[in-house]
Amino acid sequence: MSTARRQTPPNVILIGFMGTGKSTVARQLSRMLGFALVDTDAQIVERAGKPITRIFAEDGEAAFREIEAAVLGELARAERAVVSTGGGAVTRAGNVEALRAAGMVVWLDAGVEVIMERVSGNSERPLLQTADPRATVEGLLAERAPLYREAADERVEVDELSGDEVAYGLAESVRLWFGEVC
């Protein structure tokens, strides 16, 4: 992670594992900053014309990743937006470049316990429909944590915080980062 300021368009890009609160925090933060709200999973669903579970079931994960890469590739066109991304957004090097080109990248980092609490009972995440979801989460998290770390300008540990608290803290960092645009 490099916390040095970079020149980017005035957008905030939230990355992190499933269940870390990206959508909730993005909604709150966009309100606080007066920025637009962009949800890349919603854009993927719109583009595919069907929900994520059906994209995975009918077309496979690779097809989902293709659409995801296309959507992320267009993010730098946004301006004054808070963007919530899918947990796998960092799994392609080209995507990471696209995320960093689009704005300040913030990693919402949660531990396995909190993730399990938040994702359990939710059937909308095809990757977690396994015999042992906890082992799946642990495995994916181990693979992805270094990628989130590498991609991020800033990391927020969210385990002990509500969505509101995360958003309040972030609003401050974003204002410092972008100065006059917020």
H-only helix segments in the chain: 22-33, 40-48, 52-54, 61-73, 93-102, 112-119, 133-151, 163-178
Cα distance between residue 128 and residue 22, in whole Å? 18
Residue closer to ligand S3P by CB (options 87, 163) is 87
CB of 19 to ligand S3P, least distance (A): 7
| Residue in the structure block whose two tokens are 């959508």 | 23
For ligand S3P, which residue has the nearest CB?
86
CB of 4 to ligand S3P, least distance (A): 27
CB of 148 to ligand S3P, least distance (A): 11
Residue closer to ligand S3P by CB (options 7, 123) is 123
DSSP-derived secondary structure letter, 1: -
CB of 55 to ligand S3P, least distance (A): 9
Beta bridge partners of 172: none
Give residues in contact with ligand S3P (CB under 6 A): 18, 22, 41, 52, 86-88, 125-127
Residue closer to ligand S3P by CB (options 6, 47) is 47
Residue closer to ligand S3P by CB (options 88, 103) is 88
Dihedral sign for Cα 158, 112, 120, 143, please. Answer: positive
